[in-house]
Amino acid sequence: MPYHVVQHLRDETTKLAPTSLGKIHPLNKAPIIEHNGHIICESGAILEYILDQGKNDLRPDKQSSDYYAYLEWMHFAEGSLALPVITHLLMQMETRSGDAPLDGYITKELNLDLSYIDSILAQRTYFAGAMFSAADIMMTISLEIAGSLGLLENRPNIQSYLARIQDRTAYKKAREFG
């Protein structure tokens, strides 16, 4: 596919993404793509979007057993592996000791993510729109943990979303298992 790369250079002092990136998508993270009116972040979602655009051999056939290995690694990369690797990287950059390491970063990231999620849930019933989807199943556990840690006090839309989810018959049935 033809493409045009736009660079957003990191802030010299903070080493974080510049505010120009946040004007394109409120999560203020690279990569982001813009195509046919779609603005998409999250590298895994971007890859799936690009693969959906046409003929390609970068995704095993859905009927093959390789497809599920592909799916697992696609999610594992950012869902599991990135956290310890990036935490290790940040700890190496950190020069303070005691409780200070990472504290500013984690608080900033939590506020960024939770306020973004709250703004999205102000506009729609479920993450993908009007229909409950697997994205809701993926999001619920972390939001519930955030709630139990007292992180949702100023997030009314996430709170009402969780109440909606917890009221679903399937959710109640799943809770019977633990």
CB of 31 to ligand GSH, least distance (A): 6
> Which region, judged by CB under 6 A, interacts with ligand GSH, from 27-35, 113-121, 131-139, 143-151?
27-35
Exactly one of 24, 25, 26, 29 binds ligand GSH (CB under 6 A); which one? 29
Binding mask 68-107 for ligand GSH (x = CB under 6 A): ----------x-----------------------------
Q: Quick check: 43 binds ligand GSH (CB under 6 A)?
A: yes
Q: Is 30 in the site for ligand GSH (CB under 6 A)?
A: yes
Angle at 89 between CA 87 and CA 91, to 5 degrees: 70
Sequential DSSP letters for 32-82: EEEETTEEEESHHHHHHHHHHTS--SSS--TTSTHHHHHHHHHHHIIIIIH
Cα distance between residue 109 and residue 171, in whole Å = 28
